[in-house]
Amino acid sequence: MGEDKRRAKRLDTRLEVKYGDITSFISDYAMNISRGGMFISTKNPLKTGTSISVEFVIPDIKVPIKAKGKISWINDPDRIKGTNLIPGMGVEFQSLNEEEQKRLNNFIDKISLRQPE
């Protein structure tokens, strides 16, 4: 089995996420999240290496978190047919301001208490 490159544990969640560039934004759902990124479920993943802006709202906090990110990997819907993988893309956060990182960390801490190791 290959080495796991993730630096932070992924936690299952379902958050609406808006992402894109200056010209257009798309709305999909994040299926899991960590301090370092998220997996967005989509049948139209962007290319690996694409830089994007992401925006999502954590439950109970109405102010959206806005971050810059990069597509680090994809589950291409044309290549995963017949598997139990979900089409989509892994987004690595590239920048969050200090307040947004604090809100994200608090959310991660809260949901990690509800999910088994």
Segments forming the whole domain that contains residue 84:
13-112
The domain tally of the chain equals 1
| Residue 48 domain flag | yes
| Residue 2 domain flag | no
| Residue 8 domain flag | no
Give CB contacts under 8 A, 24+ apart, made by 101-105: 101/35, 103/58, 103/61, 103/63, 103/65, 104/33, 104/35, 104/58, 104/65, 105/35
For the cut 60, the answer to whether the pLDDT of residue 97 exceeds it is: yes
| Residue 98 domain flag | yes
| Residue 29 domain flag | yes
Burial grade of 83 (CB within 10 A; 0-12, 13-18, 19 or more): exposed
Q: Specify the CATH number for the domain of residue 44.
A: 2.40.10.220
Q: How far apart are CA 51 and CA 82, in angstroms?
A: 30
Predicted pLDDT at 116: 63
| Predicted confidence (pLDDT) per residue in 2-41, tens digit | 334 445 677 889 999 999 987 889 999 999 999 999 999 9
